[in-house]
Amino acid sequence: MSGPVDDDDDELEAKVSPREQAEAARLARLVDDLLDGAPAPAAMESETRLLLQAAQRIRDAGPPAMAPARREAVLDAAFARWPRARVWPWVAATVLAAAAAFVLALRPPSPRVADELVSRPADRLVGRIAAADSAAARARADLLYADRLAGYRRIVLRGGSR
């Protein structure tokens, strides 16, 4: 009780007046004496007596009881090693990810296919659709089919038909 004050309490201590500090030290000495088995002074303030009685009751109650199984579990949790079962999934995932990245990096890049030979939106071909042409879907279907057919023929002619 009368030991050095924790660093965390520095700020609180700075707000305590010297008189309060002296009172606290006196009370701490009384509690220390009581815990050492010395009898309590005969005359003291009622508040101080209540505090000493509370300290005495806490001392008599002893340390908090804990069931043996619970105590074992707490100790195991505190000191047990990291179970291997939790490590292996991470190791496996890391190794697999590294292997996959390696394979992808070594894979030869696929030859780039010209834009007109791949499936793509028809926006560039058709352009903005005016309100007056809103229902003129037949003309757009003709245009789209002709354009894609030309691209497909190029694929077939160069032997890349699928």
Partner 1 sequence: MNRARLAVVFLLMLAACGDRTERPPLSQPLLAALAQARSYHHLADLHLANGAPERAVEALERLLAVPFPAGAPEGEDALLDARARLAKLHLAQGRPDVARRVVDEGLAGTPRESFFLANLYSVSGELAEARAHTLDAVDPDAARAERRAAIVAHERSIQINERIQRRLTEERQ
Site for partner 1, rule CB under 8 A: 90, 93-94, 97-98, 100-101, 104-105, 110, 113, 117-124, 126-129, 131, 134-135, 137-138, 140-142, 144-145, 148-149, 151-152, 155, 160-162
Closer Cβ to partner 1, 46 or 161, answer by number: 161
Which residue pairs from 97-101 have beta carbons closer than 8 angstroms and sit at least 24 positions apart in sequence? Answer: none
Closer Cβ to partner 1, 61 or 85, answer by number: 85
Helix (H) or strand (E) holding 83: none
Closer Cβ to partner 1, 77 or 135, answer by number: 135
**At its nearest, how many Å lie between partner 1 and the CB of residue 78?**
19
Q: Rounded distance, CA 30 to CA 126, Å?
A: 96
**At its nearest, how many Å lie between partner 1 and the CB of residue 106?**
11
Q: Rounded distance, CA 134 to CA 84, Å?
A: 66
Q: Rounded distance, CA 93 to CA 48, Å?
A: 64
Closer Cβ to partner 1, 79 or 90, answer by number: 90
| CA angle (60 as vertex; 58, 64 as ends), nearest 5 | 65
**At its nearest, how many Å lie between partner 1 and the CB of residue 123?**
5
